[in-house]
Amino acid sequence: MSNTHNLLVELFVEELPPKALKKLGEAFANTLADSLKAQGLAPAHALVASFASPRRLAVHVGQVAAKAADQAQQTKLMPVAVALDAAGAPTPALLKKLAALGLPTANPANAADLLARLRRQPDGKAEALFLDSLKPGATLAEGLQKALAEAIAKLPIPKVMQYQLHRGEGSGLGDGFQPGWTSVNFVRPAHGLVALHGADVVPVTALGLVAGRSTRGHRFEAAQPVVTLRDADSYATQLQDEGAVIPSFELRRGEIVRQLSEAAGRAGLTPIDDEALLDEVTGLVERPNVLPCRFESEFLAVPQECLILTMKANQKYFPLLDAAGRLSNRFLIVSNIRPADASRVIEGNERVVRPRLADAKFFFDQDRKRTLASRVAQLDQVVYHGKLGSQGERTARVRKLARAIGESLGGAQQTDESLRGSVLAAQADRAALLAKADLLTDMVGEFPELQGVMGGYYARHDGETEAVALAIEDHYKPRFAGDGLPRGDAGVAVALADKLETLAGLFGIGQVPTGDKDPFALRRHALGVIRMLIERDLPLSVPALVAAAFEAFAPTHGQAQAELSHFLYDRLVGSLREQGYSAQEVDAVTALRPARWGEIPQRLAAVRAFSALPEAPALAAANKRVGNILKKSEAGETAAVDPALFVEPAERALHAALATVAPLADAAFARGDHAGSLQALSVLKAPVDAFFDAVMVNADDAALRNNRLALLAAMHRAMNRVADLARLAA
């Protein structure tokens, strides 16, 4: 490419949505750059830098050509038999086709020249004529206009606004507007467009704007209101020096992190770790300035989750924690201005946060005037789902299931028979009764994110046991990927019951996730169930859990039980593969549909160890062969082996080896040594190979055939207790 320079494109707009700014900046830059590369205006390896600040989206692309190279193209015209007559002259059909392509055909004298430009080439069973030509490469103005339109059209904008743009002579920037009124649809009103190829302006338009070289800096702190850019490469430097703006999202974010760490360190504290908050604040400021603030210590009597949430969600502040992770009465703000005396900014923010914290304290004090138990009856008035009843009805279903799970998990037996079961079952039952009561509190009404958390605090205040309070606090866990599991057994019982009730109820009314649509987060609920069963190694049967979940509903819901079981297994397979297990390993273990999922990691480890044995490939292949033979037979699966019917030495040898190995493998399996169980089977390789070399299974004699099938069935059962080894066959 000749005449290449770096390219800078900027859209200057009103304040963009801060939570979406990072994605908007990346999408704008990548789409525009990809389009230029696809058009041959920029090399595939061209460096691309994105910029995104509250009032601008921009991209810098390296090595952009003023014009793309011409491209050779081949156009198929028609078969030779149609294009040329018997004398080899062009037919009217060919002349018409060439005229449609813009080639001169009126003068017959041109016929020879035209034919010289055409090329014969085999095309299937016949020959065809092809025209070779050069397609002119796009100019930068043409290509950038297309790329800019694509970049704007493909922005991930949640909601577009429509506005009227009017600019005439003497408008602020001077070189960036078309006069008159224009109706525009965009995420925010746009006020400027910059397009510089090196030092030259590229004449493109967008959103009613004409590209120029002028942009604006910081609203209050820019050295001058309009920044006139020298060239594409001076963009970031000029904006920072003259406009008091750090245009790079990543550099601005890094500067905020640096200042937060430095300011917190001076106080011996640590800022709250919240990536989403950090991204949002980066989208709110153009020139960050971190300032320390504090609030009255009396507010620390309120649960710190409430104070942290109100500071983060409402004010975009960074609370500071001490070495033990406890909230201090200090916090950091990220200001967009740098006054010589910041005291008024600090005082203003301290004044603003005070009523927010006072509200939290008021809610906390008011909520504690009523016990959770006194609120339970009101759950009957709260709709859970139109087809599934109220929260009160749901609570009854979760209680029944949680108690059953508690009974299965065990626990010391109560001497008081009125509790009718174990301590754990009673704790799970009590926690399930109270778990949703905090939905009716003022605090959760203001901050829905605190449901469960506040229930734990209020339960302790009401005198509930710590086990019950923890279970209430944890029963939504795990809330997201990587979240912790419930800390106590009662919490596990209630969390499992809560998620299984949700899954069974919604599957029962046909609210099944489809494609990328999962409005009730059922995939997340399923993964939560899977994690608890596996990571806590719970002695629970998944089919029994699913059946118990559906028993809480009307019989009409039972039709979805098989569908939910399949869904859970499908999510299990996906989860295991994401953890690094191979498809073969996962399929081998899950093909047996083990009822207790807590054993699955041990089974997978055993399969992986078995696969490393030199005997594994042959045994897996033999197992697959045996399985296929047994599928085709109608006898032998459960029949007893009769040694008196053996004819071949090889079948006697296999029977003897199996009689020695099977008890060892079964004993290892019974004590949970899955790897040992599979490894014990490795000695079967030689007798199995000899059997298939010397023995005809499908003998004409029915008694002989059935006895051999019974021997293979016994071997098949012994080999497939841990996993379906046939799935390991190549």
Name the DSSP class of 89.
P
Residue with tokens 């991930």: 156
Strand partners, 291: 333
373-580 fold: Hypothetical protein af1432 (1.10.3210)
Residue with tokens 């035209």: 114
- Measuring CA to CA, which residue among 476, 481, 479, 431 is closest to residue 458? 431
* pLDDT exceeds 90 at position 127: no
Name the DSSP class of 560.
G
Q: Report pLDDT for 270.
A: 97
613-728 fold: Isoleucyl-tRNA Synthetase; Domain 1 (1.10.730)
CATH number for 4-68+139-241 (one of 3.30.70, 1.20.1540, 2.10.260, 1.10.3470): it is 3.30.70
Phi and psi at residue 709, to the nearest 5°: -65, -40
Residue with tokens 């969390």: 495
Residue with tokens 């057994």: 489
Are 56 and 215 within 8 A, CB to CB?
yes
* pLDDT exceeds 50 at position 414: no
Q: Report pLDDT for 95.
A: 80
The set of residues, in sequence order, having a beta carbon less than 8 Å from that of 5 and lying 6+ positions away, is 64, 66, 197, 198, 200, 232
What is the C-alpha to C-alpha distance for residues 229 and 242, in angstroms, rounded to an integer? 10
Average pLDDT over residues 153-169: 78
Are 392 and 379 within 8 A, CB to CB?
yes
Are 299 and 307 within 8 A, CB to CB?
yes
What is the C-alpha to C-alpha distance for residues 425 and 428, in angstroms, rounded to an integer? 5
pLDDT tens-digit series, residues 219-253 = 999 998 899 999 999 999 999 999 999 999 999 99
| Alpha-helix residue ranges (DSSP H) falling in 167-274 | 235-241, 249-266
pLDDT tens-digit series, residues 314-327 = 999 999 999 999 99
pLDDT tens-digit series, residues 488-538 = 999 999 999 999 999 999 999 999 998 888 999 999 999 999 999 999 999
- What pTM was computed for the model? 0.80
pLDDT tens-digit series, residues 477-488 = 999 888 999 999
Mean pLDDT of the chain: 90
What is the C-alpha to C-alpha distance for residues 721 and 435, in angstroms, rounded to an integer? 40
For residue 515, how many other CB atoms are within 10 A of its CB? 5
pLDDT tens-digit series, residues 664-714 = 999 999 998 999 999 998 889 899 999 988 889 888 888 898 888 999 999
Parse the chain into domains and list their residue ranges.
4-68+139-241, 78-133, 249-361, 373-580, 613-728
